[in-house]
Amino acid sequence: MLPRIWYSPAYDLEWDGHVFPAGKYRATRDRLLADGVIAAADLGKSELLDRGSLLCGHTVDYLDRLEAMTATPQLGYYEFEAPCSRRVLDGFYAMAGGTLAACRAALERTEPGCVGFAANLGGGFHHAFPWKGEGFCAINDIVVAIRVLLTEGAIERAAVVDLDVHQGNGTAKAFEDEERVFTMSMHQQNNYPVKQRSDLDVGLPDKCEDARYLDELARALPVVQEAQPDLVLYVAGADPFHRDQLGGLSLTLDGMAGRDARVYEAFLGGGVPVVGTLAGGYSADEKDVVEIHYRMVREGLEASAAIGR
């Protein structure tokens, strides 16, 4: 049986001093292991995804351009606002591999009395378009994983529940004409990026607090359920948190945990496997980001176990 949680040391991007806290990946893994939430046997090592699979979500020209950037890493700043060294690109390939592996694990564990939850301790790079990178995102692991699974026939329909503070514009654009994939994004309206059209967009006002946020989510999730997905990709960004440097919403830690619980209740509770990805999170204190990611994974594992009992 496949492990439920996926990670690789390749996730530790060479982005020292960047607003994106790449150290959060290792720190989240370490916290889950230290607290006994997962054991070593629960943790799978993500492998770099092969080019054929990457081409399910990106164009040949774009993948070639990324490879060429590794010779001059600073060129990445013109493309997706972060350097693109060989190590960085391999990190993105590994995180794409982790998201796909987590999807396979969640689907494998779905049977009578057991509903699959799995997580990639990385990924969620929803700003990358098929033909370009954007917003710290070089490879859209969500799009790649869903496209691979659809091509294989492993699923017939999928849904993306994107609760990062920023709209999942690259994901929305990639699937705008794909009837088998329902995209939902609930985000701060007056914030980056230039918006694309998801199947369901919920733009929230600045400084939106827990109660309003959770009410809006409660109205949105049944719409996603109506799409009857075989698998849900949960983009669980930590940046709706009130101390986030790049976000303008005002959720507390309890509000963030309530968000996760509602997603799991809606889908795991209805027999639909869920895969969590970490996406964004930019609090000045990395411990805030790690705490939010840690809770997302822990609650998903607990919800899955409770349903199986």
Domain edges within the chain: 9-308
Average pLDDT over residues 65-82: 94
Quote the pLDDT of residue 308. 62
Whether domain 9-308 has CATH 3.20.20.70: the reply is no
Quote the pLDDT of residue 110. 60
Quote the pLDDT of residue 14. 86
pLDDT in tens, 153-167: 999 999 999 999 999
User: pLDDT-derived band of residue 111, with 50, 70 and 90 as boundaries?
Assistant: low
Active site residue 127: yes
Does residue 97 have a pLDDT over 70? yes
More confident call, 288 vs 2? 288
Choose the catalytic residue: 127, 166, 187, 242: 127
Average pLDDT over residues 133-141: 98
Average pLDDT over residues 103-120: 81
User: pLDDT-derived band of residue 229, with 50, 70 and 90 as boundaries?
Assistant: very high
Quote the pLDDT of residue 29. 98
pLDDT in tens, 9-62: 999 998 989 999 999 999 999 999 999 999 998 999 999 999 999 999 999 999
Average pLDDT over residues 60-85: 95
Mean pLDDT of the chain: 96
Instruction: Spell out the residues 6+ positions from residue 18 whose beta carbon is closer than 8 angstroms to its own.
Output: 82
Does residue 115 have a pLDDT over 70? no
User: pLDDT-derived band of residue 1, with 50, 70 and 90 as boundaries?
Assistant: confident
Rounded (5°) CA angle 303-249-292 = 35
Percent of the chain whose predicted confidence (pLDDT) is above 90? 93
Quote the pLDDT of residue 168. 98
Quote the pLDDT of residue 244. 98
Average pLDDT over residues 184-189: 98
Quote the pLDDT of residue 59. 98
Quote the pLDDT of residue 114. 56
